[in-house]
Amino acid sequence: MKVLESAPDRYDAGIRILTLGKLDKAYDRLTSCIKSGQKVLDIGCGTGALTLRAAQKGASVKGIDVNVQMIEIAQKRAIKMKVAQNVEFCEMGVAELDSEKSENYDIVMSGLCFSELSEDELIYALKEVKRILKPKGLLLVADEARPDSLSKKMLNWLIKFPLVIITYILTQTTTKAVENLPETTEKAGFLIESVGLNKIGNFIELIGKKL
């Protein structure tokens, strides 16, 4: 269907509605620790929201995603923002991270991607991330989360439900929530530097460190 085929063009708009604009701020906070000259990997770069932020700071960034149409948009945006020389996009899934060299990156980041993975995939991805990070390298994650208490769950559902419907009709975009991210990250051998949840508890920002 034509509507679904051109959906990646409308992905950014969809995400903006779903996250009520909070995503931009979260991404700014998350990328604030990136310095010029660092080597950064963006897992699930999509249309390049995180990749381009890091590139603007002068880091050399590799963005990977399984959706070529999204990468195409990201590439165009990189050229428009004049950071194309700092970025490299690659059509690749998390299960193909084994082709990356060990201890190659200062920072690995991921926005709204871990929630798309199954439990097996997340464990595999974290294991690979740990391998490709340099010692004391950072893992930055921003993603939708599942609220822990029942009242917050209800509140989240009430707010989210109409948004999800509207966004799907307009842009065929949906997001999922990642479960037990801090626990899984810790189990994978990372030191949790900081975990930030918003008030309703449906959005998580996590910084992990490779020991």
Partner 1 sequence: MTLLNYIVVNIIETLLRVLPIPCKKGMTKIGKPNRMSPVFLTCNYHLTVKRVKRTLHGIDCYLLVANSNGHNVWCGATGGHFTSHDVISVLKTSGIEKLVGHNNVILPQLAATGIEAKYIQKKTGWKVIWGPVYAKDIQAFIENNLKKTIEMREVRFSLVQRIEMAIMWAFPFSIIASLITIYFWLEVLLPLNELIWGLPFIIFVSFPFYSKWLNPKKKGIGFSKYTVIFDFARMPLILWGLSLFCLFGFSIMTNALSWEFIFRWGFLSFIVILIISLDLMGSTPILKSGLHEDRFLKVVLDERKCKGAGFCEQVCPKNCYEVNKKQHIATIPGAEKCVQCGACIVQCPFDALYFMSPKDERLPPATVRTFKLNLIGKRLKETEQNVRSLEEKVSFEGHQRIGHPR
Q: How far is the CB of 195 from partner 1 (least distance, A)?
A: 25
Smallest distance, partner 1 to C-beta of residue 128, A:
10
Report in angstroms the alpha-carbon separations of 175 from 1, 111, 115, 160. Answer: 21, 11, 8, 11
For 67, counting Cβ atoms within 10 Å of its Cβ (0-12 exposed, 13-18 middle, 19+ buried), the class is middle
Give bridge partners of residue 108 from the DSSP assignment. 41, 139
Q: Measured from the CB atom, is 4 or 211 closer to partner 1?
A: 4
CB of 75 to partner 1, least distance (A): 13
Amino acid identity of residue 40, one-letter, is V
Give the amino acid at 9.
Answer: D
Looking at this protein, which amino acid is placed at residue 19? T
| Cβ-based nearer residue to partner 1, 5 or 28 | 5
Q: Which is nearer to partner 1, 24 or 91 (CB)?
A: 91
DSSP 4-48: HHTGGGGHHHHHHHHTTTHHHHHHHHHGGG--TT-EEEEET-TTT
Smallest distance from partner 1 to CB 121, Å: 5
Between residues 4 and 158, which has the closer beta carbon with respect to partner 1?
A: 4
**Binding residues for partner 1 (CB under 8 A):** 1-6, 66-69, 91-96, 98, 116, 118-121, 123-124
Under a CB-based contact definition with an 8 Å cutoff, are residues 120 and 48 in contact?
no
Cβ-based nearer residue to partner 1, 55 or 113: 113
Q: Which is nearer to partner 1, 121 or 186 (CB)?
A: 121
- The least CB distance from residue 122 to partner 1, in Å, is 9
Smallest gap from Cβ 93 to partner 1, in A, equals: 3
Q: Which residue has the tokens 């109409």?
A: 162
